[in-house]
Amino acid sequence: MKISVVILAAGKGKRMQSNIPKVLHKVGGRTLLEHVVSTAKSDINADQVFVVYGHAGERVCKALSHLDVQWVQQQKQLGTAHAVSQPLDKIPDSHLVIVLYGDVPLISQQTIQTLITATPSNGLGLLVANVEDPTGLGRIVRNENNLFKGIAEEKDATEQQKKIQEIFSGILAIPARLLKKYLKQVDNKNAQQEYYLTDVPSIALAGGATVTTVTAFYPDEVLGINDKQQLAKIERLYQLRCANNLMLAGAIVKDPARLDVRGKADVGVDTVIDINVLLEGNVTVGQDCYIGPNVVLRDCVIGDHVTIKENTVIDQAVIADQVTIGPFARLRPGAKLAANTRIGNFVEVKNSQIGEGSKINHLAYVGDSQVGKDVNIGAGVITCNYDGVNKNQTIMEDNAFIGSNSSLVAPVTIAANATVGAGTTVTENVPAGTLTLSRVKQTNIDTWQRPVKKEEA
């Protein structure tokens, strides 16, 4: 059976107290709506995905124009049943319709697949959950045989019904032909004078259809976001899920509560992730690595047996095997480190290739450079790669030695086995195997005396 997913994202979200449309707020570095679309497109392989938008719709559509969805506007917000009806003329009767919500980002593939399987061809399937605090949610009302009887919305529920902890998540699956039929029978005779999607199950039941319920695998996955406190709660739940997935795949996470994944992370077996680590964008880390405290990895590839010490930032860089980096190092976009290299504390590397076995141990800046094998770059060395208009390249060939506090004014080449003495400013190419110096001759004045502080009158 083909599947059409309808994602409701038209709400204003007044309680968010924000100028940002609710579905554009982020969890794990992605907007709420992107999470739900990913579930529909990637996890359950829906044939069609419709996003029903309303409040600040132009901003939502523009910000997420890259999504492979069909945008449908709900010009007047007349309730959830009205919202679901907006794209129905584009959905064939033979499709199964799944209704999801743009502010419920944690819904899992496992739960949705179970709902699809359980939905009868002559009725509908409802996703329910048992929660500690059902306030504000529609309660599942059952008969004396524990079979589904109806849904009581919070504002219309009796005091006895408000004590029920089994809630309707709002997520349901139903054949399109039946959904079209039942939506025509929904009215707005309720406290809010809105057309509730939650009326559909009772209408279906009264018409002789079968209504099944499926309990979510994790109660938290059906939680919606209505304010920033809930946004923060969902963020932590999402991060815990990410940490658990990494550990199940073989990584060692020192404290799951102090790891943030904002994107996609692939971490190898027995790699240790210490506290307060941020993995952002697309991050791949090999096996048997160590990622120290307060490290930020963004859109980078890390090889095997790599040590990244505390307070290091690696952004759009590629790191080979057996590399040591940090502490307090920064690798900027375009940095590529070959095997067995070492980048020490307070070293910055940008758009440069560092050859196998080379060392930049401390307090240096290497930008727009090609560094060969077994090169030693001393403390305080900088490549002067920017002339105010253009970026120029520095080349350091194999086994070159750059003494401390030297400035390499690009474009310039330090040939193989050459040595640049400490404190040298290099403005011309250095021949292979030579020693280059540009120091002022040292002068010692033995008659000089330090000034003495004058006494105040």
* Residue of 25, 35, 95, 362 marked active site: 362
**DSSP at 16:** G
- Cα(85)–Cα(81) distance, integer angstroms: 6
Helix (H) or strand (E) segment spanning residue 231: helix 228-248
- How deeply is 276 buried, as exposed, middle or buried, from its count of CB atoms within 10 A (0-12, 13-18, 19+)? middle
- Cα(279)–Cα(76) distance, integer angstroms: 41
CB distance 225 to 105 below 8 Å = yes
Paired tokens of 107 = 């819904």
- How deeply is 88 buried, as exposed, middle or buried, from its count of CB atoms within 10 A (0-12, 13-18, 19+)? middle
Q: Which residues contact 73 (CB under 8 A, 6 or more apart)?
A: 52, 53, 54, 57, 86
For this structure, is 305 an active site residue?
Answer: no
**Residues, the chain:** 457
Cα 428 versus chain centre, distance: 46
**DSSP at 234:** H
Hey, is 128 helix, strand or coil?
A: strand
Which residue type occupies 331?
L
Helix (H) or strand (E) segment spanning residue 7: strand 3-9
Helix (H) or strand (E) segment spanning residue 348: strand 342-350
- Cα(171)–Cα(36) distance, integer angstroms: 12
- What residues are annotated to the active site? 362
